[in-house]
């Protein structure tokens, strides 16, 4: 059995047992990217809130956009924290 075959078999068995080994560098980059997305979406939310306040009734969908952005930000943050948990469990 070659080294590649052995690694593949070990990885497959880990996956079957519920363990998925992902390189720490990849996980760290993913976490950084997710948090950056949350920051960007929060900024977009603030801009949408300001537009809604300034334009009021001229933007009938403004409040829906704000709520949608807030929900998106929350969901991405939850994903980031779940990925952090996976990283911590893997270490």
DSSP H/E element including 87: helix 62-90
Residues in CB range of 34: below 8 A, 6 or more apart: 76, 77, 79, 80, 83
Q: In 3D, which of 8, 16, 9, 19 has the Cα closest to residue 91? A: 19
pLDDT, tens digit (0-9, with 9 covering 90-100), for 31-75: 999 999 999 999 999 988 888 888 876 766 667 888 888 999 999
- Is the confidence at residue 76, as pLDDT, over 70? yes
d(CA 42, CA 68): 11
For the chain, the domains span: 23-90
Q: pTM score > 0.85 for this model?
A: no
pLDDT, tens digit (0-9, with 9 covering 90-100), for 2-13: 777 887 788 778
Alpha-carbon 43 to chain mean position: 16
What's the pLDDT at 59?
66
* Band of pLDDT at residue 21, cut at 50, 70 and 90: low
């Amino acid at each position: 059995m070659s080294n590649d075959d052995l690694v593949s078999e070990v990885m497959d068995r880990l996956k079957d047992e519920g363990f998925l080994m992902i390189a720490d560098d990849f996980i760290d980059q993913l976490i950084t990217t997710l948090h950056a997305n949350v920051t960007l979406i929060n900024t977009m939310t603030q801009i949408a809130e300001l537009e809604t306040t300034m334009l009021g009734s001229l933007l009938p969908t403004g409040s829906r956009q704000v709520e949608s952005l807030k929900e998106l930000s929350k969901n991405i943050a939850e994903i980031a924290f779940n990925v952090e948990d996976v990283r911590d469990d893997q270490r």
